[in-house]
Amino acid sequence: MSKKLRCVLIVMLLLLAAAVTGYLLVDGSKRREEQKAAEEQDALHMFRFDVNNVDTVEIQNEEGTFTITRENGAWTLTDTSYAHEFLLSESYVNTVCSYMSSLTAQSRVLPQEGVDYGFGNETAVTCTVGNEHCTVYIGGLSALGDSYYAKLPEDDHIYCLDTKCGEALRGGTALLKSPYMLNMYDVKINYIKLESGSDTVWECSKDESGWQMHVPLPYAAVDNAQMDSLLTVLTRTEVDEFLGYTEELSPAEYGLDKIGHKLTVKTDEQTVELDFAEYEENDGMVYFLDRNTGQITGIETAKAGFLQTKASELLSVLLPVPVLGDMASLEVTSEQFNFTMEQKDEEKLLDGEAVTDSTKYESLYTAATTVLVSDVDESGKADLPEDAEPVYTLHITKKDGTDTMITLLPTPEEGILYAFEDGNYTGMKTEQRVLTSALKKALAELQD
């Protein structure tokens, strides 16, 4: 190899070594920067725990101390220095746990002189997970209003939290209180009563068979779907104003010296009694008192329509009868129709004769037993003539041996009939022509 070529190779090797060295230096610097950035980002993660494992939440603020414990999956306010009772917002407690479980700051700095971070009246939030206590102190809002200041115990840094997160954790009773008029699940409600003045508008209770009305029509059929719809409205109605408590306020100032309506709602675990002030449709707000807590709150008048619910609006539009599959026999007695339907060992009989067309047989049963309610008499008192005779009678025997007797008797109105079930006036009325027309058509089709 010539001397000149060796010099060229040496120069190339030196250049390559310099390039490799430069790359390694730059790459190392970049890695250090990335590692430093990762460490700084990791330092912003203030807490990390499983939200489902939180046992207790404790909040301390200017209003008092609130200890909230999870029991059987539900949150309960177990200890507080707050002077008043209130309904707890479980959804808010869950929100606090959710934020705390992955609490991450936007940035952190060391405190600077002359800056007010708002820790003179901070809020302390602690989530207990097993033996671990995770506490954060929430200070004031930043000068720009884009974050809340926060601190951790035994940490000199000041953390900046997202405004939404900071507001939620700073909370207070405005968020701790349930926003709902009824802090209960609609499916757990088994008793409800609405009163107007000194009168009971309606009273209902629920058992395994469904809802029953006690007042004013104890023999009427409650429409379970209508009742469920009402309860959904009641449990989802949100309060618009939290005004205070009776020992702090004058109830008369909010019209509560004259109670217009009373609502009583029960589950197996709790009873809620609400007194509503008298109001007019053009009033902006309806105020009410929770007798259990002494708290006075208000809802917009547009939300108070449930207070005008009539008993008739909760009732079925049909008289209840067994379905065809449960029927052993049906006797129909009237001036126009007299026949018997029976089901024996899969055989369908009409006046003792076998019927092979199941569809037409079912149509006849439906026509005979579909008593459509045309009006509801909430007085529950039938004005029967002395010589009143049944216009139409259904005697249904179920396969389990139980009987149902539906009797329709004449009212003072021509063509309108009172409906009785097992001798008791249901408060419901029906039109004779509707029943007669449907039954006549079903019999004609079956006999074709």
CA angle (349 as vertex; 348, 354 as ends), nearest 5: 85
What is the per-residue pLDDT for 64? 94
Give residue-wise pLDDT tens across range 211-265: 999 999 999 999 999 999 999 999 999 999 999 999 999 999 999 999 999 999 9
Least confident of 12-26, 212-226, 414-428: 12-26
What is the rounded distance in angstroms from the CA atom of residue 400 to the CA atom of residue 328? Answer: 8
- The predicted model scores a pTM of 0.79
Residue 13 has pLDDT above 60, yes or no: yes
Residue 38 has pLDDT above 60, yes or no: no
Q: Which residue has the higher pLDDT, 192 or 344?
A: 192
Residue 1 has pLDDT above 70, yes or no: no
* Predicted confidence band of residue 171 (pLDDT cuts 50, 70, 90): confident
Residue 34 has pLDDT above 80, yes or no: no
Report which listed range, 1-15, 36-50, 308-322, is most confident: 308-322
Q: Which of 94, 95, 103 is nearest to 70 (CA)?
A: 94
Q: Which residue has the higher pLDDT, 426 or 30?
A: 426
Residue 39 has pLDDT above 70, yes or no: no
For residue 63, give every residue at least 6 positions away whose Cβ sits within 8 Å of its Cβ, in sequence order, or none.
Answer: 82, 172, 173
Mean pLDDT of the chain: 91
- Max CA distance (Å), the chain: 141
Domains of the chain in start order, with CATH, are 51-176 (2.60.40), 186-314 (2.60.40), 324-447 (no CATH)
* Predicted confidence band of residue 32 (pLDDT cuts 50, 70, 90): low
Q: What is the CA radius of gyration of the chain?
A: 37
Residue 161 has pLDDT above 90, yes or no: yes
In the three-class reduction of DSSP (H, G, I as helix; E, B as strand; rest coil), residue 370 is classed as coil
Residue 404 has pLDDT above 80, yes or no: yes
Q: Which of 312, 308, 320 is nearest to 216 (CA)?
A: 312
Other Cβ atoms within 10 Å of 346 Cβ, number: 5
Give residue-wise pLDDT tens across range 73-104: 889 999 999 988 888 999 999 999 999 999 99
CA atoms within 13 A on the CB side of 93: 25
